[in-house]
Amino acid sequence: MTLDGKVAIITGGASGIGRATALTFVRKGAKVLVADIDLAKGEEVVAEVEKAGYPGAAVACAVNVAEFTEVEAMVARAVEAFGAVHVIFNNAGIAGGAPLLEHDIEKDYHRLIRIDQDGVYYGILAAGRQMAKQGTGGVIISTSSVYGQQAAELSFTYSAAKAAVISFTRSAAYELAEHGIRAVAITPGRVATPIINQFSEELRATFAAEQMRGVLTDPQEIADVVAFLASDESRVINGTVVNVEDGYSAFKQRLDLPVF
């Protein structure tokens, strides 16, 4: 599998799944725009790419995905740097939540919707327009979540936004197929990103127990799947939700076996 000749934009590319994906894409031959609200950390990823022996394969770009003008500028920056856009990984997002009846509407609703939902819409729209203009086709991959398919604790708004990502993906695949553009969503479960690693060891152990292997997923494991989805080898995967959650959705919890 190769990504030779492809130009990819990765939002939230400075840490976690985004960082692992940026490094993986470069190793597989792609040029990458590492887009993140934290430009300094994005530049650190670019420095990692350079140090690994891939000079010129990545550039960093500051972007607030909650602002469409910034997302448009991000796409233009990728074209300026590398001549085209063939892949976008709409990965930037935030977590958070509170019991519904205790919501601060700005913090617990609008803020999450602007980033986790609107930010993906903006990425699909801006990159989709560029890909259609190029006439070269492309792939739009967006990060949803297991929470986008079920109810969960303290996640009223987060779940709604992630469900919207799944709907966006299906509709984008339908509308953009005539341009040779695919759209795919992924649904990570419990991944050892900075968001989860900040929690206590006890809580992280609980999270790990919710997955089949009983461990937190490594960001690299998600990156490997995203790289495949971006490749020509996955051309028949379109309008699809790809579960990357180590069985999280398949069971509730492990119980001690009863003695008969």
54 noted as active-site residue: no
- Using pLDDT thresholds of 50, 70 and 90, give the confidence band for residue 259: confident
Q: What is the set of domains in the chain, with CATH numbers?
A: 7-248 (3.40.50.720)
d(CA 214, CA 55): 38
More confidently predicted of 13 and 256: 13
pLDDT of 39 above 90: yes
At residue 152 the predicted structure's pLDDT band, cuts being 50, 70 and 90, is confident
- Does residue 251 carry a pLDDT above 90? no
Pick from 186, 143, 127: nearest CA to 6:
127
Share of the chain above pLDDT 70, in %: 100
Is the pTM of the predicted complex or chain greater than 0.75? yes
Q: How many CB atoms lie within 10 A of CB 251?
A: 11
Query: Are residues 45 and 22 in contact, defined by beta-carbon separation less than 8 angstroms?
Result: yes
Predicted confidence (pLDDT) at residue 256 exceeds the cutoff of 80: no
Cα 90 to Cα 120, 150, 152, 219, 250: the distances in Å are 6, 21, 23, 15, 26
pLDDT over 90 at 254, yes or no:
no
Of the candidates 121, 147, 158, 248, the residue annotated as catalytic is 158
In this predicted structure, what is the pLDDT of residue 253?
Answer: 75
Q: Look over the chain and give the mean of its residue pLDDT values, rounded to a whole number.
A: 96
| Residue burial 48-67, b: 16+ Cβ < 10 Å; e: rest | bbeeeebeebbbbbbbebbe
What's the pLDDT tens digit per position in 168-190? 999 999 999 999 999 999 999 99
Per-residue tokens: 39? 């430009």
Q: What confidence tens digit (pLDDT) does each residue in 198-214 have?
A: 889 998 999 999 999 99
pLDDT digits (tens, 9 = 90+) for 209-236: 999 999 999 999 999 999 999 999 999 9
pLDDT for 158 equals: 97
Nearest to 83 by CA among 6, 176, 3: 6
